[in-house]
């Protein structure tokens, strides 16, 4: 399985990517997670990405395609992968097609998770993450056992780009630059759109059904 999971900020891409990867035994490749890890380690890529991520803007395509190229060359990606949050621009989609074609491969499916805007803001601003084990919680929809504390004991934090203002900026960027990919993948015949407004389990079942139809 080689697939892309698309959707606006807070749509549930990370949550659903983890579930799909468990189901199919493939690698979870999140460009957002890679940028956050690069920023935390103080690497050159992290330094280039920081200003963009903090403002909710897209990191330039050449930097982003570069980290995906390197990640796809790692052994765990040869079995298949879920790309979470990449591509987000048409040049990134073209770059991905080129990377895969270089190894005689192509995407099996692109799943777009759609959620109403008010719900997206609610999901993002209520998200809390554990810097120790990276687990993602939600104050309302998936609360931690103890307020402010992860099940591993780590102190939960708000992602700096999860303030209501930055979430709205990220949503505007999504509408301007990423929505065009819907047409790109619809024309390729591999786009499946799912309603992401139900519970995580309901959305997981819709995605599983969409992926089964792709392989028929
Ligand atoms: P990234 O980390 O990818 O952010 P995003 O796309 O804005 O997506 P999110 O992580 O906010 O949300 P999600 O859809 O994964 O939702 P989640 O499952 O966590 O990117 C961050 C930044 O990095 C970008 O702004 C950009 O600067 C840069 N970047 C990344 N990729 C790039 C690229 N390709 N090109 C250029 N720049 C790039 O769920 C959200 C919350 O809701 C959680 O608390 C969860 O528990 C809860 N939840 C999930 N599903 C449900 C549900 N069904 N019901 C109720 N609650 C739910």
Mutate to test the pocket of ligand 1, among 7, 13, 82, 99 (most ligand atoms within 8 A of CB): 13
For the Cβ of 95 lying below 6 angstroms from any atom of ligand 1, the answer is: no
Q: Whose CA is nearest to atom 49 of ligand 1?
A: 12
Task: Give 8-58 pLDDT, tens digit per residue.
Answer: 999 999 999 999 999 999 999 999 999 999 999 999 999 999 999 999 999
Instruction: Judge whether 122 counts as a catalytic residue.
Output: no
Instruction: Judge whether 168 counts as a catalytic residue.
Output: no
Instruction: Judge whether 2 counts as a catalytic residue.
Output: no
pLDDT-based confidence at residue 213 (cuts at 50, 70, 90): confident
Please say whether the beta carbons of 190 and 108 come within 8 A. yes
Q: How far is the CA of 101 from the centre of ligand 1 (A)?
A: 28
Identify the CA nearest to 77 among candidates 100, 49, 43, 98. Answer: 100
Asked whether residue 215 carries a pLDDT value surpassing 80, the answer given is: no
Predicted TM-score of the model (pTM) = 0.96
Q: How far is the CA of 143 from the centre of ligand 1 (A)?
A: 17
Instruction: Judge whether 127 counts as a catalytic residue.
Output: yes
Task: Give 112-141 pLDDT, tens digit per residue.
Answer: 999 999 999 999 999 999 999 999 999 999
Give the integer Cα–Cα distance in Å for 210 and 214. 6
What domains can you pick out in the chain, each with its CATH number?
2-26+79-214 (3.40.50.300)
Distances (CA, A) of 147 to 10, 66, 160: 21, 39, 19
Q: What share of the chain is helix, strand, coil (3-state, %, to 5)?
A: 50, 15, 30
Q: Pull the structure tokens for residue 118.
A: 């008010």
């Amino acid at each position: 399985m080689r697939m892309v999971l698309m959707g606006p900020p807070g749509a549930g891409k990370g949550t659903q990517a983890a579930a799909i990867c468990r189901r199919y035994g493939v690698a979870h490749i999140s460009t957002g997670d890679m940028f956050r890890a690069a920023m935390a380690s103080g690497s050159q890529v992290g330094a280039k990405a920081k200003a963009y991520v903090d403002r909710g803007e897209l990191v330039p395509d050449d930097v982003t395609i570069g980290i995906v190229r390197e990640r796809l060359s790692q052994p765990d990606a040869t079995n298949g992968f879920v790309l979470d949050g990449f591509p987000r621009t048409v040049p990134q989609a073209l770059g991905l097609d080129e990377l895969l074609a270089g190894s005689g491969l192509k995407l099996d499916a692109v799943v777009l998770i759609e959620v109403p805007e008010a719900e997206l803001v609610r999901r993002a601003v209520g998200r809390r993450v554990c810097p120790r084990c990276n687990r993602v919680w939600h104050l309302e929809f998936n609360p931690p056992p103890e307020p402010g504390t992860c099940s591993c004991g780590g102190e939960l934090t708000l992602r700096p780009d999860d303030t209501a203002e930055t979430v709205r900026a990220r949503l505007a960027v999504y509408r301007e630059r990423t929505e065009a990919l819907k047409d790109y993948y619809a024309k390729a015949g591999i786009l499946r759109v799912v309603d992401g407004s139900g519970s995580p389990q309901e959305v997981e079942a819709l995605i599983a059904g969409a992926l089964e139809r792709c392989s028929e």
